[in-house]
Structure 1
């Protein structure tokens, strides 16, 4: 899958996340190597609500960035969507600038990548789904509204999920969540969360709904490949990746 002389992507991963790493390996094309460092700043035993995720977003990245820089990545991904959704677009942009300043690497945030992907797809109305608690979904929808996207429908998970529970959702459960988020006037469906197994059901959900599906990890890889100038993404991950190939 990788070419040791090719581009390198470094990824900052929340320490309880079990799906970001396998997703990135699945989404990366040949010639791109992946390098991961885990980050903390939240209580693994608490429900990851807006307060927990805001704490994660505000936690120091000095040591994780120092460790990740040992791999000399060309691009660094901030691999938690909700940590900056909880704060707002200005915070997200400032965090990306901070990471770039400290590391010297091009920087992509999960929340910023969702916005960039929706702009590439030229959509304005979305259906939104995530494994977050409803109050954090409120923050996410407000973030996207600030960036010019109207959420016309949403699907909250039926019960609060802990960190382990979010990562344990099956692809079929994520697919059903995406179906519930749809409405005829939604131009696209957004599945937010880097620890949710949504990349595996992108094409299946797009076929069922007849519209693009954007996920956190897919969007991060898409934007990374854009900035790296790579145009050979793996097949089977939706209309967004097809735009890169075109």
Structure 2
């Protein structure tokens, strides 16, 4: 049994995780602890507060008791908003508090892009323009060539959580770029676990979504390799990344 822990902000698309647990197999358990998000707003000051060390540390003991072998802060905007160095410090502090290998969804995206050997990507963000631009800057700091950025301007995770397959597919399609080798959907409040293959079929290229890469990152930290084509191209190839 491999137990993986996730600190998930609030309540929006957390039902993606039991869905992914079913697709991964009977010997993998995904345990979620919900963190207090404070103000639900895709705004820089609110995101900095949501990702603070104090808020993350509050959920660590429950994850330890669950037997988790690794922990991932299941939030993209609440990690990349700190910038490249700040996001590293956030993860280091989480690892110290948990006594476990740790990462965040932002770093999960950079590792997953490398795994796919994608050099150029398009970003399909639900965020406002300024927050989407911060994610693109984070990717560029990781050496990823961002050829297109689309922002939907949604302010709250609660609203993003109401989106279904049709809205998500429309966002991905509108955000794609001919030069992009993968399309990234960075919001963990967005439901995607049930239709990643449909997204990839529509776009004809790999699609990386926030909750998908978060689970993949936790598996990587635990040194587990799982073949689960229902979760997209990322889960359908031999592991290359050793970070």
What is the TM-score normalised by the length of structure 2?
0.90
Q: Secondary structure of the equivalent of 1:38?
A: strand
Matched, 1:127 2:141: no
CA distance in 1, matches of 2:239, 2:141: 30
Match of residue 5 from structure 2: 10
Shift of residue 139, structure 1, vs aligned partner: 0.7
Q: Is it true that 1:110 corresponds to 2:105 in the alignment?
A: yes
Q: Does 1:222 align with 2:216?
A: yes
1:38-66 Cα offsets, whole Å, 9 max, x none, are 1124313xx32222112212251332112
Offset from partner CA, 1:138-159 (integer Å, 9 cap, x none): 11111111111122112221x4
Q: Which residue of 2 aligns with 1:173?
A: 167
Aligned pairs for 1:82-101 within 5 A: 82-101=77-96
RMSD across aligned positions (CA):
1.8
Does structure 1 residue 36 correspond to structure 2 residue 19?
no
> SS at 1:94's partner residue?
helix
For residues 96-148 of structure 1, give each alpha carbon's deviation from its aligned partner in whole angstroms, at most 9, with x where no partner exists: 12111121212121101000000111112111012111110011111111111
Matches within 5 A, 1:24-103: 24-28=17-21, 29=24, 30-44=26-40, 47-60=41-54, 61-103=56-98
Q: Which secondary structure does the structure 1 equivalent of 2:6 belong to?
A: strand
| 164-173 or 26-35, larger mean C-alpha shift | 26-35
Q: How many residues in Structure 1 have an aligned counterpart in Structure 2?
A: 236
Match of 1:200 among 186, 191, 194: 194
Tell me, yes or no, if the aligned pair for 1:129 and 1:192 is still in contact at 8 Å: yes
Matched, 1:238 2:235: no
Given that 1:175 and 1:201 are in contact with CA atoms closer than 8 Å, whether structure 2 keeps it comes out as no
For the residues of structure 2 that align with 1:138 and 1:76, how far apart are their CA atoms? 27
Q: For residue 3 of structure 1, what is the aligned residue in structure 2?
A: none
CA offset digits 1:54-101 (Å, max 9, x no partner): 221225133211232221210111011100111112122212121111
Shift of 1:161: 3.4
Comparing 208-217 with 182-191, greater Cα deviation is found at: 208-217
Helix, strand or coil: the match of 1:199?
coil
In terms of mean alpha carbon deviation, does 211-220 or 53-62 score higher? 53-62
1:245 Cα deviation after fit: 7.7
**Structure 1 residue ranges, 4+ long, deviating more than 6 angstroms after superposition:** none
Q: 1:183 corresponds to which residue?
A: 177
Q: Could you tell me how far apart the structure 2 residues matched to 1:162 and 1:223 are?
A: 25
